[in-house]
Structure 1
Amino acid sequence: MIVPELIIVLLAIYLGARLGGIGIGFAGGVGVLILTLGFQVRPGAIPFDVIEIIMAVIAAIAAMQVAGGMDYLVSLAERLLRKHPRYITFLAPLVTYCMTILAGTGHTAFSTLPVIAEVAKEQGVRPSRPLSIAVVASQIAITASPISAAVVFLAGILEPQGVSYLGLLAVAIPSTMVAIFIAALITNFLGKELKSDPVYQARLAKGEVSLRGASVFEEKKGAKRSVALFLIGIVAVVFYATAISDAVGLISDPVLPRNEAIVVFMLTIAALICLSCKVDTAKILSASTFKSGMSACICVLGVAWLGDTFVKAHIEEIQQFAGDLLTHYPWMLAVILFFASTLLYSQAATTKALMPAALMLGVSPVTAVASFAAVSALFVLPTYPTLLAAVEMDDTGTTRIGRFVFNHSFIIPGTLAIILSVIFGFVFGHLFL
């Protein structure tokens, strides 16, 4: 029955892609319903551990946003980009990468994309170059963020295998950072120069291209304080997760496990931001980061549950088919994760659905860590929110989706960045693990 059930899974994912956004989670629920009632498959585990982390982190970020912290960070980013505009293709991904690492969500890129597009236009730089690699960097950085649900989940299942939370970050951060820098270097030569692009010239002639200039930032009273509190929360998470790890052992037999600790710390930080910055908590519910985060929770709920239901029902068949393949060609795990993430549309959902199965098949911890960045291939289908936002914000028309769907501005920078991340992941993995 594996073939018809696999068809149901693929059809559910296709339906989710058609619905888009939160609809991906809805379609995952439809898939679980058909598998359980139609094929009598036992339901897999609902990914509450991943969802609770996303919810808590997003709550703290939304509180910081309402307090003015996000606007303050964007103003710092704009100042940096305008100070060194010639290096925008290198600085733009650095900005989105760092913001994602700090926030644990790539949706922070939304606020910086308009700045990147404007600075690029002002300098006569083809906007598709910095915009494409910036969007890719915001996605890959999820696999290097200390508070992202994907990282925390993978660290949890790798710890019994001898890889600590700190060890995972020690490989993920340098490998993805170096990969994005090299990818940015190559991206800087993609496409025609802006002045030679016929689409841009046509839009310019029609008066469809405009420059807004530097934005005026009005700092709220508690903006800096909210950012400082959020950073304290991240440091607390990293310190505590390291202290309770078996490798460090500063705290033995902890009362508060790592997942619960992250939730507690983030909710506490959200409370402190609301109290010290006088945040109207009613406004948090309508914050853009809160909405996108809660949408992500539903997506993970449906898709990861669907994946876990299918994998657990056929783990023996999967072991027979993929066990020898992954033993002889461990890099194939990265390929599997790459294509799975294009359909599952979430780093956390892909990690939750496939990484436990990969470890059960005998994949080494080093291979799992090195291949981890491949769960970030959310750019392949040109329907991801940050990707679409970058296309919309570039009125020069250089950041575009081609006639054949896959020939868009993000496919080369993204694929290159993931390939390099995996290669460097194996290099740093053998050095540090």
Structure 2
Amino acid sequence: MIALEFAIVLAAIFIGARLGGIAIGFAGGLGVLALALLGVTPGDMPFDVISIIMSVIAAIAAMQMAGGMDYLVNLAEKVLRSNPKYLTFLAPLVTYLMTVMAGTGHTAFSTMPVITEVAKENNIRPSRPLSIAVIASQMAITASPISAAVVFFAALLESEGTGVSYIDLLAIAIPATFIACMSTAAIMMAVDKVRGTSELSTHPEFQRRLAAGEIEMKGSQTRELPKGAKLSVLIFVLGLVAVMSYATAISENVGLISDPVMGRDQAIISIMLSVAALIVMLCKVPTASILGASTFKSGMSASICVLGVAWLGTTFVSNHEELIMETAGDMLSDYPWTLAIILFFAAALLYSQAATTRALMPTAFAIGVSPVAAIAAFPAVSALFVLPTYPTLLAAVEIDDTGTTRIGKAIFNHPFLVPGVINIAIAVALGFVFGALRGL
């Protein structure tokens, strides 16, 4: 029976991936229904994770409509154009920082056109900085103080009595993922140099499109900012600081607030919604416009996707937890790093850092995985690049009009896979190192 149930899970994920977009969540719900018809009890619905995503997205969408995203993109363009020779480092640096601050990788959409134009202007193959920038935006989710994956994992660490706080998690995740992103950029630049593929002019497809007049050089684009643009960013940043401060204060290891009125989830949701309210009031943003914001649409789509796939994954795992513990317990006990491999392949199917964390991390602790192993393996939940169907990945392919960022005929033949695998491998290794340095 378990084989049939697993086949249903895979079939639902495959259908969702084929349909794309929000349909991934729809297919997850279809999978839960199919399992229920076989007598499988549905698992807990991930409303905690979804609520955090929705509230953060609401604040980001309000900031976008106030002109805050354009202001950040203007800053990003200045950084990228300041030293184009190092675009392969600067591009992931920008997308990483924006994702850490915003808690969603969808902010990368706004910087991709700039990365592409700077690359074309400086005879750099756009696929390299674009691919690493996309990977960095995914990796940064596991280092963002307000991402649903980090918040859920931090709460789980404390509820399991591991002695690891929210700040401990960030103190390991941020340097591990950031150094991994920069190291991956260095490795891929070295590979391109050895292979002689760094320069855009060496690529036949670019030469063909250039000769056909299919490539347009747009140059620098100045974005006019509304009066409240900078203020909206300031309000959002203050909200981020408030979230981190409160989450730290109520941590058992810090203990500044021993009997908090609100839990961490409630605090993040209320603060982010308050940030949205302040931006709307002080920056005079029409509330109707927020519903049409690109970040709002992509964020709400992501919420439905997490609802479907996380619920599907939790349903399967919770109903076979004992078997999973018996099968994987000894292996994870003897080789704790293998948790990263499990999370890697699960994330490739579940399509979400939060969904993967929600579905598998509680079982990992039930099996007896140590806190340091779980934290070190955490970046592996960012393996959303394996199948070339994730929105930011597809956007990078579409935006690069030079034709160097392409998905081959084979499913896994795309420029995001190798940098992504290298990035996660380095981040996991560094996670063990930094965890040991912190005495975990």
Normalising by structure 1, what TM-score? 0.99
Amino acid at match of 1:12: A
Counterpart code for 2:179: V
Residue 124 (structure 1) aligns with? 123
Map of 1:274 onto structure 2: 280
In structure 1, how many angstroms separate the alpha carbons of the residues matched to 2:409 and 2:50?
36
2:365 to 343, 355, 359: 359
Name the counterpart of 1:161: 162
Question: Which amino acid letter does the alignment assign opposite residue 412 of structure 1?
Answer: V
Structure 2 letter corresponding to 1:209: I
Q: Give the 5 Å matches for 1:175-324.
A: 175-188=176-189, 189-190=191-192, 192=197, 193-324=199-330
Note the C-alpha offset of 1:187: 1.8
Q: Separation in 2 of the partners of 1:350 and 1:307?
A: 8
Tell me how far apart the structure 1 counterparts of residues 328 and 14 of structure 2 sit (CA, whole Å): 24
Distance 2:294 2:4 in 1: 39
Please state how far the C-alpha of 1:17 moved relative to its aligned partner: 0.8
Q: Offset of 1:284 from its aligned partner?
A: 0.4
Q: In 2, distance between residues paired with 1:77 and 1:142?
A: 19
Q: Partner of 1:174 in structure 2?
A: 175
Q: CA deviation at 1:162?
A: 1.3
| AA at the equivalent of 1:7 | A
Measure the CA separation in 1 of the matches of 2:126 and 2:23: 30
Matched, 1:77 2:83: no
Gaps of 5+ in 1: none
Equivalent position of 2:26 in the other structure: 26
Structure 2 residue 101 is the aligned partner of structure 1 residue 95: no
- Hey, what does 1:368 align to over in structure 2? 374
Amino acid at match of 1:72: Y
Q: Pairwise mapping of residues 14-53 of structure 1 onto structure 2 (< 5 A)?
A: 14-36=14-36, 38-53=37-52
Please state how far the C-alpha of 1:44 moved relative to its aligned partner: 0.6
Measured in 1, the distance between the counterparts of 2:6 and 2:390 equals 24
Alpha-carbon distance in 1 for matches of 2:187, 2:124: 15
TM-score after normalising by structure 2: 0.97
> Are 2:414 and 1:408 aligned?
yes
Aligned AA for 2:4? P
Paired residue secondary structure (2:276): helix
Paired residue type of 2:165 = S
User: Following the alignment from structure 1 to structure 2, what is the Cα–Cα distance between the partners of residues 203 and 247?
Assistant: 59
Shift of 1:259: 0.3
State how far apart, in whole Å, the 1-side matches of 2:313 and 2:392 are: 24
AA of the residue aligned to 1:168 = L
Deviation at 1:39, TM superposition (A): 1.5
One-letter amino acid of the structure 2 residue matched with residue 140 of structure 1:
M
Partner residue in 1 for 2:66: 67
Q: Deviations over 1:38-67 (max 9, x none)?
A: 211111100000000001000000000000
Q: State the match for 2:7 in structure 1.
A: 7
- Distance in 2, Cα, partners of 1:163 & 1:283: 41
CA distance in 1, matches of 2:260, 2:243: 14
Shift of 1:412: 1.1
Identify the range of structure 1 (155-164 vs 48-57) with the bigger mean alpha-carbon deviation.
155-164
**Cα distance in 1 between the residues matched to 2:313 and 2:4:** 15
Q: Which moved more, 1:184-193 or 1:41-50?
A: 184-193
Distance 2:69 2:328 in 1: 44
1:413: Cα distance to partner? Answer: 0.9
Give the Cα separation in 2 of the matches to 1:358 and 1:15.
28
Structure-2 separation of matches of 1:428 and 1:347: 21
Please give the alpha-carbon distance, in whole angstroms, between the structure 2 residues aligned to 1:106 and 1:144.
11
What secondary structure sits across from 2:215 in the alignment? coil
CA distance in 1: counterparts of 2:70 and 2:147, whole angstroms: 21
Q: Shift of the alpha carbon at 1:407?
A: 1.4
- Aligned equivalents of 1:311, 1:196: Cα separation in 2: 49
Whole-Å Cα distance in 1 between the matches of residues 241 and 119 of structure 2?
34
Tell me how far apart the structure 1 counterparts of residues 241 and 60 of structure 2 sit (CA, whole Å): 15
Q: How many residues align?
A: 432
Instruction: Give 1:127's aligned amino acid.
Output: P
Residue identity (%): 67
After the TM superposition, which segments of 4 or more aligned residues of structure 1 sit over 6 Å from their partners?
Answer: none
Cα deviations across residues 24-44 of structure 1 (Å, max 9, x unaligned)?
1111111111111x2111111
Deviation of 1:321 after TM superposition, in Å, equals 0.5
Residue identity in the other structure for 2:105: G
Kindly provide the CA deviation profile for residues 210-264 of structure 1, in whole angstroms up to 9, marking residues without a partner as x: 1001002211100000000000000000000000000000000111000000000
Unpaired stretches in structure 2, ≥5 consecutive residues = none
Trace 1:138-149 onto structure 2 (pairs within 5 A).
138-149=137-148
**Which residue of structure 2 lines up, in the alignment, with residue 110 of structure 1?**
109
Instruction: Measure, in 2, the Cα distance between the counterparts of 1:146 and 1:185.
Output: 26
Say which is worse superposed, 229-238 or 78-87, in terms of deviation: 78-87
Instruction: State the distance in 2 between where 1:343 and 1:269 align.
Output: 33
Letter in 1 for 2:112: L
* Whole-Å separation in 1 of the counterparts to 2:367 and 2:172: 22
What's the offset of the Cα at 1:161?
1.6
Output the amino acid matched with 1:263.
I
Cα separation, 1, equivalents of 2:121 and 2:15: 41
Whole-Å Cα distance in 2 between the matches of residues 34 and 208 of structure 1? 47
Q: How far, CA to CA, are the matches of 2:188 and 2:402 in structure 1?
A: 18
